[in-house]
């Protein structure tokens, strides 16, 4: 069935094209390569779950193929689902600045920022979703997986669809601005299932579909996370002007107030009082659906006040996956001083590299770090500074902590487990057995 466009004629700014939504080329990955990392039991579960799904058609839809966690996850999940025997596509919705301004306001509202949405913002959100729905046919698909709020209202235009629609929320919904959440709620209620990272994120609301809880995962074999020697990491960082003989603190994240890069600079300054040789790298990609990114990037640059030991780098400086890997591998400590955080893939990425991680005590970070055992959880720049000083004072102890963190990531936050959960959900949606895999639902206590 093609989308029904009823009373939502697109504005002249967003004329529908005759093209389908653009496809993302995800390349190829092979499940067999993960056999040395995942347990044999997990690999068997994946194979059993994949069997009845052979040939099923899956469409992932998201707002961007670049920058941020959703893109990071899909570049691995989509090709691995394909290797498991499903027919999988990932498509990106169209948008322009006016739409991304609204979706950023929605994102901020869902993470608790005050202020609602005015009539014009609501109109823009609906119009772009209607326009994108007009470029989509649900007919070829068995499952349509919609990521995050930006395309959440596509489903409004497919009443009676034969596809199973699943909505995946990736952000921190623990304290949503209710007005913003209530705007999205009617759309979310139309889905067949919704997935949240944490139980605390599932909103109190009537009419929600069955809600499942599972965290995302990192790909241990992707260029971002594959083994990189300390020598190679130093060689790469040297080319960015980092003094590889002196300690480095790093935060890798979008330039976004919720990631608190200014708080990271405050923490670094406090560390520098005791360790004058310390350097700081803030590595942040610019996502095309994040209009606030540039403003906040500029604010972050000014906040450094020209300190030559602070390096602000992004994809604009050719920092790609391998370079992020090198920064994480080389750092004395990795920070993720978020104020809100859906999950925080960067935490697992750093722990996987056995790096000491100092991170905000928020959202999905607390599932990755047990304070004092696998890393450091902090509530302020002062606490972040204290934790970094503890790491620099006692690197051996810090490394032991990080190794425990790595083991926690290995057991819980690597891609094969994520693939297993998706395959189990697809089977469950079709009424199939789930090979003994018990998915956690919001109803369970």
Smaller CB separation from ligand UDP, 132 or 285: 285
Closest CA to 333 of 408, 386, 257: 386
# chain residues binding ligand UDP, by CB under 6 A: 19
By the rule CB under 6 A, 289 interacts with ligand UDP: no
CB atoms under 10 Å from CB of 206, counted, come to 6
What are phi and psi for residue 8, nearest 5 degrees? -120, 60
* Of the residues 62, 74, 331, 346, which one makes contact with ligand UDP according to CB under 6 A: 346
Smaller CB separation from ligand UDP, 275 or 303: 303
Window contacting ligand UDP (CB under 6 A); options: 4-12, 186-194, 247-255, 427-435: 247-255
* Of the residues 247, 344, 375, 381, which one makes contact with ligand UDP according to CB under 6 A: 344
CA 294 vs. chain centroid, Å, equals: 20
By the rule CB under 6 A, 69 interacts with ligand UDP: yes
* Of the residues 46, 86, 145, 324, which one makes contact with ligand UDP according to CB under 6 A: 324
Window contacting ligand UDP (CB under 6 A); options: 48-56, 123-131, 338-346, 352-360: 338-346
Distance between CA atoms of 302 and 279, rounded to whole angstroms? 17
Q: How many residues does the chain have?
A: 445
By the rule CB under 6 A, 197 interacts with ligand UDP: no
Given the DSSP bridges, would you call strands 279-283 and 248-252 parallel, antiparallel or unpaired? parallel
**Chain position carrying tokens 């000083």:** 389
Tokens of 120: 């014009």
By the rule CB under 6 A, 254 interacts with ligand UDP: yes
Window contacting ligand UDP (CB under 6 A); options: 118-126, 339-347, 382-390, 429-437: 339-347
Distance between CA atoms of 433 and 439, rounded to whole angstroms? 12
Closest CA to 360 of 369, 351, 352: 369
**Chain position carrying tokens 């959880």:** 377
What angle separates helix 69-83 from helix 415-429, to the nearest 10 degrees?
70
What are phi and psi for residue 164, nearest 5 degrees? -85, 125
Smaller CB separation from ligand UDP, 138 or 148: 148
CB 285 to ligand UDP: min, Å = 3
Angle 355-76-313 from CA coordinates, rounded to 5°: 50
Give bridge partners of residue 147 from the DSSP assignment: 168
By the rule CB under 6 A, 220 interacts with ligand UDP: no
By the rule CB under 6 A, 360 interacts with ligand UDP: no
* Of the residues 144, 145, 252, 439, which one makes contact with ligand UDP according to CB under 6 A: 252
CB 349 to ligand UDP: min, Å = 5
CB 216 to ligand UDP: min, Å = 7
Residue whose C-beta lies closest to ligand UDP: 69
CA 162 vs. chain centroid, Å, equals: 29
By the rule CB under 6 A, 334 interacts with ligand UDP: no
Smaller CB separation from ligand UDP, 70 or 131: 70
Closest CA to 172 of 336, 294, 333: 336
By the rule CB under 6 A, 284 interacts with ligand UDP: yes
By the rule CB under 6 A, 72 interacts with ligand UDP: yes
**Chain position carrying tokens 């698909």:** 141
CB 2 to ligand UDP: min, Å = 32
Classify residue 250 by its DSSP letter. Answer: E
Question: Which residues form the interface with ligand UDP (CB under 6 A)?
Answer: 68-69, 72, 224, 252-254, 283-285, 314, 319, 324, 342-346, 349
């Amino acid at each position: 069935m093609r989308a029904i466009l009823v009373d939502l004629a697109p504005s002249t700014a967003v004329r529908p094209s005759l093209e389908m939504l653009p496809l993302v080329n995800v390349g190829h990955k092979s499940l067999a390569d993960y056999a040395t990392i995942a347990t044999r039991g997990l690999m068997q579960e994946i194979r059993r779950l994949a069997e009845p799904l052979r040939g099923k058609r899956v469409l992932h839809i998201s707002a961007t193929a670049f920058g941020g966690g959703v893109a990071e996850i899909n570049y691995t999940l989509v090709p691995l689902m394909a290797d498991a025997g499903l027919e999988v596509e990932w498509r990106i919705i169209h948008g322009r600045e006016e739409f991304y301004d609204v979706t950023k306001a929605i994102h901020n509202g869902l993470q608790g920022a005050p202020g609602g949405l005015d009539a014009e913002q609501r109109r823009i959100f609906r119009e772009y979703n209607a326009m994108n729905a007009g470029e989509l046919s649900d007919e070829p698909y068995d499952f349509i997986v919609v990521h995050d709020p930006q395309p959440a209202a596509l489903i409004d235009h497919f009443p009676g669809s034969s596809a199973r629609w699943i909505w995946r929320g990736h952000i921190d919904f623990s304290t949503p601005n209710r007005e913003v959440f209530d705007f999205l709620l009617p759309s979310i209620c139309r889905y067949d299932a919704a997935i949240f990272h944490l139980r605390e994120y599932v909103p109190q609301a009537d009419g929600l579909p069955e809600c499942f809880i599972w965290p995302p995962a990192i790909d241990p074999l992707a260029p971002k996370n594959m083994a990189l020697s300390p020598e190679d990491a130093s060689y790469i960082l040297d080319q960015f002007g980092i003094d590889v003989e002196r300690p480095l603190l790093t935060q890798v994240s979008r330039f976004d107030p919720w990631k608190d890069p200014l708080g990271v600079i405050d923490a670094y300054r406090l560390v520098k009082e005791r360790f004058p040789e310390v350097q700081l790298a803030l590595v942040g990609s610019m996502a095309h659906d994040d209009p606030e990114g540039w403003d906040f990037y500029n604010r972050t640059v000014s906040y450094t006040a020209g300190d030559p030991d602070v390096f602000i780098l992004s994809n604009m400086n050719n920092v790609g996956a391998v370079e992020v890997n090198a920064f994480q591998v080389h750092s004395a400590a990795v920070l993720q001083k978020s104020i809100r955080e859906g999950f925080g893939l960067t935490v697992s990425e750093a722990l996987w590299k056995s790096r000491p991680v100092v991170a905000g005590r928020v959202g999905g970070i607390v599932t990755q770090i047990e304070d004092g055992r696998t890393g450091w959880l902090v509530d302020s720049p002062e606490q972040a500074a204290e934790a970094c000083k503890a790491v620099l004072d006692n690197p051996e102890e810090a490394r032991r902590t990080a190794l425990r963190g790595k083991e926690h990531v290995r057991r819980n936050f690597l891609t094969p487990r994520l693939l297993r959960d998706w395959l189990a959900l697809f089977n469950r949606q079709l009424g199939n057995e789930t090979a003994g895999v018990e998915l956690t639902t919001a109803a369970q206590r």
